[in-house]
Structure 1
Amino acid sequence: MTPEAVTASLDEARTFFPRHFPDERYTAFSCGSWLLDPQLRDYLPEDSNIVRFQRRFELEPYEEPEGLDADVEVRRFVFPTLTTPLDRLPRRTVLQRAVVDHLKAGRHWYWRRGRFPI
């Protein structure tokens, strides 16, 4: 998503929740995703949509999520298969190359949580 599309979605949420849940007070947006892994900045250009998305958030201290393997989640999102060996995965995009190079180097991706004020 472009930064403009993300902003438009957040603006809709800012009006949706008070209108439909007037008794609740929401103070922050939060997200948990491998997309917030700061290691992505080692591979992606500063003007990539993923890096721009990351910049919106203040990361919470890292806690390993139970039952979640971020390496699997990244592969599941970026590639259509989990069974293809790393050497045979496509490398057409910067993100595809980042995922493959990172995993081939024996490194791991991390699921991070972040938030920012509404």
Structure 2
Amino acid sequence: MAEVYRRVGRHKIEKLIALHRTVQDDLDDIALGRAGNAEAGLAAHRHEGHAQISIEVGDIDRYVVLDDERGLMAALSIEFGRAPVAPTEDNPDGSAGMEGLGVLRDAMGVKRQPRRSRR
């Protein structure tokens, strides 16, 4: 009967496989391709601004990131949109809402969920 080892030395077998050079090279290639798709989606809608797509490297994984150095949750608004804001005394014009671009979701092949109404 075969014996299955869960660890090799002090490392879990899954981590050793994930850290193998071939796997890491494939992760780099996939992240680069997905980042290119996201950058193309962002460029198609960019009028002006500082938003950019970057790749962050973790211990094992790669992360494709929508970054906007303005802060104020700008990257979140670009990806998911924002609801309109009613006019107030401080903001007499209010703020128009916008539908999110979903550049990361599209680049990753994630199906967009229908937007729920906000109360």
Is the strand fraction higher in 1 or 2? 2
Short-chain TM bin: under 0.3
Is the helix fraction higher in 1 or 2? 1
Q: Name the larger-Rg structure.
A: 2
Q: TM-score, normalised by structure 2?
A: 0.24
